[in-house]
Amino acid sequence: FIQPCNGDKLETLQMQPIQKSGVQGDNNILIVDPNEKRSHLIMTVVKKMGYGAVIFSTSRKALEAFSLEPEKFKMVMVHHSIEEMRPKEFVTQVIKTDHTIPVVIDIGYKNQAVKNELSAWFSEEKSVYLTPVILRELSKTIENLMKKSV
C-alpha cells in the first residue's frame, strides 16, 4: 500500500499488478485480420520462416497486446478491413508505441481507393508498407522488410 498525502489527510491506494500480454518469446509477427482462413494461411508462412504468429481478428485486442509488450513483435501485418478501429487509427497507435517496427497493411487486390487513402495518410512513415498480401510472395516480402528495419 502507498499512502500519499492529500492536503491534510492520507489516502490509501492499492497497487495494480503489471499486466502482460501472454505472448511468448520476442520473435513474433502480429497478424490482425477478421478473416480466419486468410490469417491462418499467413500464419503458416510466418511459422515456416521461424517466426511466432500472434493472431487477432479484432483491432482493439491486438493493439492492447502490442501496447503491453511491443518488444515481443518484429512486425505487424494488418488487413485493411479490420473492425472496431480503422486501419489508420490502429497503425497510428502502433507507430506511436514503436515507430521502427515494420507494419504491412494488406490493401487487398485492385483496391485503388483504399491504397490512395492510406498512402496519403502514411506517406511520411518509413516503416509502413501498403501491399496486397500474396501468399506465394509473402516470405520474400517479410524477409525484405525485416532487412530494412535492422
From first to last of its 150 residues, the chain has per-residue pLDDT tens of: 444 444 555 444 444 444 454 555 689 999 999 999 999 999 999 999 999 999 999 999 999 999 999 999 999 999 999 988 989 999 999 999 999 999 999 998 888 888 888 888 888 888 999 999 999 999 999 999 988 876
Q: How many C-beta neighbours within 10 Å does residue 23 have?
A: 17
Q: Is the pTM of this model over 0.85?
A: no
Q: Which three cell numbers stand for residue 137?
A: 510472395
Cα gap 137→122, rounded to integer Å: 23
Cα gap 113→48, rounded to integer Å: 33
Q: Residue 22: left if φ>0, alpha if ψ -120 to 50, beta else—which one?
A: left
